């Protein structure tokens, strides 16, 4: 009795176990044809059934299928899971029973296409969400991120409680709310989910909200209000062009197409009879009105298809009303989405302003870096040096050469900065001794002579390094960008340029205010005769100051070379802007140069923001602005006053 | 006659130009023996146009002391203005010919649209911009050749001179103006075909049947005539009281102002007049060059103009012409690759690569040691020796050129 009872219990357990185990196999067998020739359009229910079967083998099976490791044995047509063993495969039945080895030729491997595989991955997500492996869970989340579906909502919610990793848990919560916005049961839940985000600037949220506001245009009889969630009416001639409205009618097949001038012309050409079309002589057809009459005549004779005339178009358009209607049926949803997007837009605008400010700051520091050497030679000494740009270029090429010798980018940068300073310092001193010294009394001619040096140096660089751009590679720690959020980010190299600009500013101030050289330099520029009688050698001071200005240009060249490519025209690109910076800021004052760089940098970025497609136009307008600015403040933003101003 | 007696250089100049023109005419393939090629006739014609803009530069810089780095912009504007008509009219001819093949005569709109899409297809547009409004009319565009540079110079000059921007600052400001104009033209939606520029300008609308070798001589004559007229005009302008005033402005602007002269007015007139001459020069130059694009008015072009005038000798009109002709011809000779390379044993000097270096250094040397440029050679011939001043200035302004006063 007990034995029979035990046997019965055992049988029952086995049976129920078997019943469950057979489930996936059964499902496969009953839908054999569908599975064998799986298509994205028809396979969905089968995959759902497999996923919902509750069979613990379902995950393994789906995974094998997706990985092209599910096949049909040719001998009996049974489904088998495959495992590669050398040249052959080890076969397992869907329930996990081992059924021995088989050759490749004995099996029909199922190869689901990309669409089907995506469905399989989607079904697998729910298993992966609760997987003990952190990586699998992360992957599952990114699948949901990219291909959100209604079916993921429940498993995601279920997996949330058991999630142990705090970062992943936060991500799951966020995804759950996003999924709720898309697929939530009722509007109340969805709206609550929308409102829970507030003014979140994430791209994923905007990507979820925007489709809610998808609209399409519909046509209704004049005076009738269409059903559906209406956004706004379209008034022909005001919010929609008459042509566009008519094209809507044509698309609905409610009106004949308008004719293009080319089509009309071809129709007329096809019906030339004895030098006339529709009774009108060819010679008159250079007049559009005559063409109209000719076509009308042909139309009347039934020789050409009827085409809408302008008047017919107008009448047809007037007989209908045009509306923009949301695809989303619930007005409460669209209102909530609109409000949320408006809130986000305000925040994004603020972020963009911040980003713009950072970019302007970075551009300003580039201009400042390019101009700081000039602030000394042109600003303080009053010597115009057109070869300044070529000193920048020289510094950049020095950096390039150093990188060829020292392969370590960090080390080479550390070596290049002072070396570039030394090289251009020497070049500056040489130029001052040989050329500029003789022309202190003839400033316009300094411009010309230094320009001669500039074209010679530029061509020399071309002859030595070739015309193609040379790379100056930044070290790894300068790659990448400092990302604040989806809107605000700034590359490290720009931060480095900003820092370098600050360093040079401090160096300049220190030299001018705290050293003997600076004191003597200020004395010489204010009154060379008096300075000379105080025992200062103006010749030596001028030489050193010119060298210092050139040296700073050279070091700046290394930084600018990192930011842009090194070519022989590198300096030329900056020279006009550099002079502008000094002139706008006010000659003779480093703070003026700083202010000038800030003004020019932010102005250019501001104009670019107004017209983002066109940086060339931005530069044009900026230069025009500067020309006008000089009208208002001819001596620059920070003008020297009194004795120091000279004349 | 009095004018010619006081300025013997004018007659000399005109005589040399006439002989040169005659010689080229006799050697040109279109009208003479064909000893020189058509392209060389064009090069010579272009050089005469450059000499013309150098004259303008000399007036504004050598005489009035305004180192303008924007006159090549006016030159290019002149070229653009004439180029617009040429391009429009020539495209019109082509469009009408192609539309005439269809049996139905084209409407005016069809022709207009055909032209627009032909010209602007290259910048992805088929719409005729507003600035081409006058392009169909030769007289209107010829008027614009004069008016646009004049207007631009007047506005810019008025703004700059009014706020007493002078010296180096003015140079930088004019350079900025040139750069702004070039950058604006580089855009595709500026309405002047962006960096493609205007091309096919060597074909003159309505003169399709005339061979290029004949056309080149015609343009050469026109350039020579324009140069002669410009020379006469400028020689007359600088020889009278007006010339004295602008030289005085160059040497001491403040003193002239205190003497009661409207300095700004004089400067503005000189600036605009020279802009017009530059514009006319450009209008003659670019039909010979065949193509114009925004690179032509890069700031560097204007600086080269200053280089020519400086090498030729500022403050004398024939000096500017000498500088422009000699430097630009040398330049095209060296960069043309026809100069034999110089082997140095360890390296070979390819003049195509080294010409710019040579030019730059020559320029430095001329500025340092021969501020009177090539024109100074004429002084040597005529036996004029300025006193050795050992660097001491005669006048009050340390930046001024005072050799003239020293002679007289």
Q: Do A455 and B106 touch (CB under 8 A)?
A: no
Q: Which residue has the higher pLDDT, A26 or B360?
A: B360
Do both A274 and A360 map to the same domain? no
What pLDDT, on the 0 to 100 scale, is given for residue B291? 92
% of chain B with per-residue pLDDT over 70:
93
What pLDDT, on the 0 to 100 scale, is given for residue A269? 79
Q: Domain range holding A504?
A: 348-574
Do both A307 and A369 map to the same domain? no
Tell me the two tokens of residue B402.
């005072």
Residue-wise DSSP of A87-99 = TEEEEE-TTS-EE
What pLDDT, on the 0 to 100 scale, is given for residue B397? 47
Tell me the two tokens of residue A163.
């999630």
Alpha-carbon distances of A423 from A378, A428, A557, A578, B48, rounded to whole Å: 20, 9, 12, 21, 43
Q: Would residue A643 be called left, alpha or beta, if left means φ above 0 and alpha means ψ between -120 and 50 degrees?
A: alpha
Q: Mutate which of A285, A466, A574, A630 to test chain B, going by most B C-beta atoms within 10 A? A: A630
CB A307 within 8 A of CB A258: yes
Q: Which of A97, A118, A139 is the last residue of a domain?
A: A118
Average pLDDT over residues A26-51: 79
In a domain, A615, yes or no: no
What pLDDT, on the 0 to 100 scale, is given for residue B222? 95
What pLDDT, on the 0 to 100 scale, is given for residue B403? 46
Q: What is the mean pLDDT of chain A?
A: 82
SS3 A481: strand
CB A213 within 8 A of CB A313: no
Contacts of A433 in chain B (CB under 8 A): none
Max avg pLDDT among A1-15, A43-57, A204-218, A605-619 = A204-218
What pLDDT, on the 0 to 100 scale, is given for residue B399? 45
Contacts of B181 in chain A (CB under 8 A): 620
In a domain, A509, yes or no: yes
Distance CA A574, CA A577 (A): 5
Of A173-177, A252-256, B21-25, B227-231, the poorest mean pLDDT is in A252-256
Average pLDDT over residues B8-23: 92
Tell me the two tokens of residue A360.
């302007």
In a domain, A88, yes or no: yes
Do both A11 and A134 map to the same domain? no
Q: Mutate which of B73, B368, B369, B391 to test chain A, going by most A C-beta atoms within 10 A? A: B368
What pLDDT, on the 0 to 100 scale, is given for residue B356? 85
Do both A102 and A142 map to the same domain? no
Average pLDDT over residues B284-313: 89
pLDDT over 50 at B318, yes or no: yes
Q: What are phi and psi of A567, to 5 degrees?
A: -130, 170
Q: Which helix (H) or strand (E) holds A413?
A: helix A409-434
Q: Return the exposure string of B203-230: e unless at least 16 CB atoms fall within 10 Å of the residue's CB, then b.
A: bbbeeeeeebbbbbbebbbbbbebbbeb
**How confident is residue B408, by pLDDT bands cut at 50, 70 and 90?**
very low
What pLDDT, on the 0 to 100 scale, is given for residue B407? 44
Residue A71 pairs with which residues in a beta bridge?
A80, A109
Q: Which helix (H) or strand (E) holds A403?
A: helix A388-405
What pLDDT, on the 0 to 100 scale, is given for residue B396? 46
In a domain, A235, yes or no: yes
Q: Can you state the angle between helices A203-212 and A331-374, rounded to 10 degrees? A: 140
**How confident is residue A644, by pLDDT bands cut at 50, 70 and 90?**
low
Q: Mutate which of B57, B64, B169 to test chain A, going by most A C-beta atoms within 10 A? A: B169
SS3 B203: coil
Q: What are phi and psi of A149, to 5 degrees?
A: -140, 155
Q: Which residue has the higher pLDDT, B44 or B350?
A: B44
In a domain, A339, yes or no: no
Do both A95 and A9 map to the same domain? yes
What pLDDT, on the 0 to 100 scale, is given for residue B228? 95
In a domain, A596, yes or no: no
Contacts of B167 in chain A (CB under 8 A): 443-444
CB A93 within 8 A of CB A102: no
Q: Which helix (H) or strand (E) holds A221?
A: strand A215-221
> Which residue from B134, B9, B53 is spatially nearest to B296, judged by alpha carbons?
B53
Of A4-18, A87-101, B286-300, the poorest mean pLDDT is in A4-18
**How confident is residue B77, by pLDDT bands cut at 50, 70 and 90?**
very high
CB B123 within 8 A of CB B196: yes
Total number of domains constituting chain A: 4
List, as own/partner pairs, every contact residues B210-217 make where C-beta atoms lie below 8 angstroms and the sequence separation is at least 24, other chains included. Answer: B211/B30, B212/B38, B213/B28, B213/B29, B213/B30, B213/B38, B213/B41, B214/B30, B214/B31, B215/B30, B216/B28, B216/B30, B216/B38, B216/B41, B216/B42, B216/B45, B216/B288, B217/B24, B217/B25, B217/B28, B217/B30, B217/B31, B217/B41
Max avg pLDDT among A195-204, A612-621, B206-215, B289-298 = B289-298
SS3 A108: strand
What pLDDT, on the 0 to 100 scale, is given for residue A423? 95
Do both A110 and A49 map to the same domain? yes
Average pLDDT over residues B367-394: 70
Question: What are the pLDDT digits (tens) for B178-222?
Answer: 988 998 898 887 888 888 889 888 888 888 788 888 889 999 999
Report yes or no: A439 at the B interface, CB cutoff 8 Å.
Answer: yes
Q: Name the residue among A288, A441, A620 with its Cβ closest to that of B184.
A: A620
Q: Which of A189, A212, A235 is the last residue of a domain?
A: A212
Average pLDDT over residues A156-171: 81
pLDDT over 50 at A15, yes or no: no
List, as own/partner pairs, every contact residues A493-498 make where C-beta atoms lie below 8 angstroms and the sequence separation is at least 24, other chains included. Answer: A493/A562, A493/A563, A494/A362, A494/A365, A494/A563, A495/A362, A496/A559, A496/A562, A497/A362, A497/A365, A497/A366, A497/A369, A497/A559, A497/A560, A497/A562, A497/A563, A498/A361, A498/A362, A498/A365
In a domain, A583, yes or no: no
What pLDDT, on the 0 to 100 scale, is given for residue A562? 85
Q: Which of A521, A545, A574 is the last residue of a domain?
A: A574
> Which residue from B302, B295, B313 is spatially nearest to B377, judged by alpha carbons?
B313
**How confident is residue A4, by pLDDT bands cut at 50, 70 and 90?**
low
Question: What are the pLDDT digits (tens) for A553-570?
Answer: 999 899 888 888 888 888
Tell me the two tokens of residue A612.
């983002």
What pLDDT, on the 0 to 100 scale, is given for residue A148? 80
pLDDT over 90 at A306, yes or no: no
% of chain A with per-residue pLDDT over 90:
12
Give the start-to-end residue ranges of the domains of chain B: 2-301
Question: What are the pLDDT digits (tens) for A505-531?
Answer: 998 899 888 999 889 988 888 888 888
What pLDDT, on the 0 to 100 scale, is given for residue A493? 85
CB B116 within 8 A of CB B133: no
pLDDT over 60 at A9, yes or no: no
pTM for the predicted model, two decimal places: 0.76
Q: Name the residue among B164, B299, B357 with its Cβ closest to that of A576.
A: B299
CB B103 within 8 A of CB A269: yes
């Amino acid at each position: 009795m007990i034995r029979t009872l035990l046997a019965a219990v055992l049988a029952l357990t086995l049976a129920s176990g078997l019943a469950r185990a057979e489930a996936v196999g059964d499902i496969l067998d009953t839908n054999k044809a569908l599975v064998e020739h799986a298509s994205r359009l028809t396979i969905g229910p089968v995959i759902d059934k497999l996923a919902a079967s509750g069979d613990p083998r379902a995950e393994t099976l789906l995974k094998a299928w997706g990985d092209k490791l599910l096949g049909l044995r040719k001998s009996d047509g049974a489904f088998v899971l495959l495992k590669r063993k050398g040249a052959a495969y080890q076969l397992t039945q869907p329930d996990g029973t081992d059924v021995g080895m088989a050759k490749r030729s004995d099996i029909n491997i199922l190869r689901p296409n990309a669409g089907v595989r995506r469905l399989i991955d989607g079904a697998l997500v729910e298993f992966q969400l609760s997987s003990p492996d952190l990586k699998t869970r992360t992957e599952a989340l990114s699948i949901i991120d990219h291909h959100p579906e209604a079916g993921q909502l429940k498993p995601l919610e279920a997996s949330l409680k058991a999630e142990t990793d705090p970062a992943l848990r936060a991500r799951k919560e966020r995804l759950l709310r996003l999924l709720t916005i898309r697929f939530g049961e009722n509007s109340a839940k969805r709206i609550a989910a929308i409102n829970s985000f507030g003014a979140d600037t994430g791209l994923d949220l905007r990507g979820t909200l925007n489709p809610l506001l998808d609209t399409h245009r519909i046509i209704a009889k004049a005076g009738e209000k269409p059903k559906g969630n209406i956004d706004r009416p379209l008034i022909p001639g005001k919010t929609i062009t008459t042509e566009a409205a008519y094209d809507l009618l044509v698309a609905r097949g409610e009106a004949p197409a308008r004719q293009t001038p080319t089509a009309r012309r071809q129709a007329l050409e096809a019906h030339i009879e004895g030098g006339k079309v529709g009774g009108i002589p060819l010679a008159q057809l250079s007049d559009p009105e005559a063409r109209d009459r000719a076509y009308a005549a042909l139309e009347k004779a039934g020789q050409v298809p009827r085409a809408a005339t302008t008047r017919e178009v107008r009448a047809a358009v007037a007989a209908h009303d045009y509306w923009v209607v949301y695809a989303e049926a619930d007005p409460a949803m669209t209102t909530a989405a609109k409000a949320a997007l408006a809130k986000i837009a305000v925040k994004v605008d603020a972020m963009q302003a911040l980003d713009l400010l950072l970019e302007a700051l970075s551009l300003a520091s580039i201009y400042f870096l390019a101009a700081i050497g000039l602030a000394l030679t042109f600003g303080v000494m009053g010597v115009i040096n057109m070869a300044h740009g070529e000193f920048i270029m020289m510094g950049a090429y020095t950096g390039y050469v150093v990188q060829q010798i020292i392969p370590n980018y960090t080390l080479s940068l550390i070596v290049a900065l002072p070396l570039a300073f030394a090289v251009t310092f020497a070049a500056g001193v040489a130029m001052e001794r040989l050329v500029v010294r003789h022309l202190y009394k003839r400033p316009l001619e300094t411009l010309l002579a230094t320009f001669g040096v500039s074209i010679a140096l530029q061509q020399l660089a071309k002859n030595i390094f070739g015309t193609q751009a040379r790379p100056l590679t930044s070290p790894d720690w300068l790659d990448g960008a400092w990302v604040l959020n989806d809107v605000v980010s700034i590359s490290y190299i720009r931060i480095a340029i900003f820092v370098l600009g600050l360093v040079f500013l401090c160096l300049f101030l220190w030299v001018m205010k705290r050293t003997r050289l600076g004191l003597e330099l200020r004395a010489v520029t204010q009154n060379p005769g008096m300075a000379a009688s105080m025992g200062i050698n103006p010749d030596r001071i001028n030489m050193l100051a010119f060298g210092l200005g050139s040296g700073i240009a050279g070091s700046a060249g290394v930084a600018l070379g990192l930011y842009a490519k090194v070519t022989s025209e590198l300096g030329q690109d900056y020279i006009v802007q550099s002079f502008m910076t000094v002139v706008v800021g006010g000659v003779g004052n480093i703070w003026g140069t700083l202010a000038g760089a800030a003004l020019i940098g932010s102005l250019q970025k501001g104009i670019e923001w107004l017209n983002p497609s066109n940086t060339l136009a931005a530069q044009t307008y900026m230069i025009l602005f500067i020309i006008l600015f000089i009208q208002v403040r001819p001596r620059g933003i920070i003008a020297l006053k009194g004795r120091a101003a000279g004349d | 006659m009095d004018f010619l007696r006081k300025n013997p250089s004018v007659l000399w100049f005109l005589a040399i130009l006439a002989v040169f023109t005659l010689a080229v005419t006799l050697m040109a393939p279109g009208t003479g023996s064909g000893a020189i090629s058509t392209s060389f006739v064009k090069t010579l014609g272009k050089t005469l146009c450059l000499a013309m803009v150098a004259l303008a530069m000399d007036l504004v810089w050598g005489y009035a002391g305004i180192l303008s780095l924007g006159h090549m912009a006016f030159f290019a504007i002149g070229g653009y203005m004439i180029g617009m008509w040429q391009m429009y009219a020539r495209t019109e001819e082509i469009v009408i010919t192609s539309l005439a093949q269809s049996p139905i005569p084209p409407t005016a709109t069809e022709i207009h649209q055909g032209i627009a899409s032909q010209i602007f297809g290259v910048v992805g547009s088929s719409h005729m911009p507003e600035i081409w409004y006058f392009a169909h009319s030769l007289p209107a565009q010829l008027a614009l050749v004069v008016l646009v540079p004049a207007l631009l110079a007047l506005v810019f000059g008025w703004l700059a001179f009014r706020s007493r921007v002078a010296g180096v600052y003015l140079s930088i400001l004019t350079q900025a103006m040139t750069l702004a104009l070039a950058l604006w033209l580089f855009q595709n939606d500026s309405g002047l075909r962006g960096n493609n520029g205007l091309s096919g300008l060597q074909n003159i609308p309505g003169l399709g049947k005339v061979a290029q070798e004949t056309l080149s001589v015609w343009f050469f004559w026109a350039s020579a005539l324009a140069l002669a007229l410009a020379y006469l005009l400028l020689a007359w302008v600088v020889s009278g009281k007006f010339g004295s005033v602008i030289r005085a402005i160059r040497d001491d602007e403040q003193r002239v102002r205190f003497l009661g002269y409207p300095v700004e007015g004089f400067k503005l007139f000189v600036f605009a007049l020279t802009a017009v001459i530059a514009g006319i020069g450009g209008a003659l130059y670019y039909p010979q060059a065949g193509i114009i694009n925004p690179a032509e008015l890069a700031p560097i072009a204007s600086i080269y103009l200053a280089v020519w005038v400086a090498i030729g000798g500022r403050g004398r009109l024939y000096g500017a012409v000498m500088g422009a002709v000699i430097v630009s011809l040398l330049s095209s000779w060296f960069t043309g690759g026809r100069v034999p390379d110089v082997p140095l044993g360890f390296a070979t000097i390819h003049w195509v690569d080294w010409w710019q270096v040579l030019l730059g250094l020559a320029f430095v040397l001329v500025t340092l040691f021969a501020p009177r440029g090539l024109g100074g050679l004429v002084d040597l011939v005529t036996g004029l020796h300025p006193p050795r001043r050992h660097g001491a200035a005669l006048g009050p302004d340390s930046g001024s050129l005072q050799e003239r006063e020293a002679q007289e």
